Amino acid sequence: MTVVKMNVALIGCGWVAGLQMINGFNHVSDLFNVQTACDNDLAKAQAFAREYGLPEAVASYEAVLADPQIDAVSICTPPSLHHSMVKAALAAGKNVICEKPFTSSLELVDDIMAMEALSSARVMPVFQYRFAPGLQRIRRILASGIAGKAYTSSVETAWRRGSDYYAVPWRGKFATELGGVLLTQSIHIHDLFLYLRGPVAEVKAFKATRVNPIEVEDCAVAALRMEDGSLASLTATLGSIRPVTRIRLCFENMVIERQCFDEEAPRPGNEPWTIVPVSDEVARKVADISAEPAEQYTSFAFQFAQFHRAINTGEPFAVTLEDARRSLELVTALFHSAETDETVSLPMDQHHERYGGWISHSSRAAGSAAAVPALQE
């Protein structure tokens, strides 16, 4: 069977676009031609194109969308630009890959979902952490049902960000980054938790800015009641001297745990995940599932390969707009609870006062003077 390569333009030429090349497109070069680097800083686009061997560098997103040779765009820009860029791509008939956070409100996600339904093109959000081999093994074990009833879960994202990180002009501001640790850092870890454990029913949260002189939050805690009745806690900070990510899931028949430190902290989907079974019989079932062959690709490469297949077959994406909405629904609930002292019930619909965004009026005012960001993330 002949594979038709898809021509892609990368929009925004910062470090995220580099990760997409290194951990994604370079591994699936039989499926994609990354044709164009686009950034409103043309010199940055040109340097990116030279580094990764791309044939074209441009400063105009409009020119990319007008190019009939481009089949898809991968949007790696600051989050405040995502909604308008995704909509423009759909209007131009271009398929879209879009980095997290997908946008700034449930209303804007629903707007894109409605537009996609009328378009010939499709949109895939990025949550590449899901597709690491350890995380996929745990997903298979939980899908089998052998874990039994869920009791409690605890998730900790304790990373470190300082003045060098926030020297980038668009970071740390509600107008351009849209949020802090709950939106930019822990959103991936919380997505893994939702991916493994399913829907949330209630949220009670607190947040604070204690580590850096920024507008957005850099510390947060939350208590959750899950739809299945189990309980969970979330902790996130950017002030951990030693970065660590911890996920601990307690079930009737096993405890599942992953903790990773330092450079491994942003890679919780990797092995080793530890499973403590309640019996030898459960241990044997875990071993049988663990012995199943792993996917050919991981991380970005898995998502991109599946994106190519889904565009050609019409099958659902590995990460859907519904997944992006569920992630932002949790973010919205966390912000609303922290700012009102309310316990928030999910799901949230268009009647909720934060349907149009989690950013409070005071936060909007604080960020209103921020400069328009460059395309790079």
Q: Are residues 261 and 143 in the same domain?
A: yes
Rounded Cα–Cα distance for residues 57 and 68 (Å): 16
* β-sheet bridge partners, residue 222: 205, 234
Instruction: Give the domain extent around 266.
Output: 131-290
Query: By the 8 A CB rule, do 330 and 337 touch?
Result: no
- pLDDT of 296 reads 87
Rounded Cα–Cα distance for residues 95 and 28 (Å): 17
Q: Are residues 153 and 89 in the same domain?
A: no
In a domain, 164, yes or no: yes
**Structure-block tokens of residue 280:** 């030898």
* β-sheet bridge partners, residue 124: 97
Rounded Cα–Cα distance for residues 162 and 166 (Å): 7
Q: Are residues 119 and 242 in the same domain?
A: no
CATH, residue 66: 3.40.50.720
Q: Are residues 86 and 215 in the same domain?
A: no
Distances (CA, A) of 304 to 5, 93, 110, 296, 312: 12, 19, 23, 12, 13
Q: Are residues 110 and 157 in the same domain?
A: no
In a domain, 338, yes or no: no
Rounded Cα–Cα distance for residues 302 and 353 (Å): 37
In a domain, 361, yes or no: no
In a domain, 376, yes or no: no
- pLDDT of 365 reads 40
Q: Are residues 84 and 168 in the same domain?
A: no
Q: Are residues 72 and 202 in the same domain?
A: no
Domain count, the chain: 2
The pLDDT averaged over each successive group of 10 residues in the chain (377 residues) is 90 96 97 97 97 97 97 96 97 97 96 97 98 96 98 98 94 93 96 97 98 97 98 98 98 98 96 98 98 90 97 97 97 97 97 90 41 41
What is the edge-to-edge ordering of all strands in the sheet holding 274-277? Answer: 274-277, 254-261, 239-251, 150-160, 231-237, 219-226, 200-208, 344-345
Q: Are residues 73 and 149 in the same domain?
A: no
Q: Are residues 79 and 140 in the same domain?
A: no
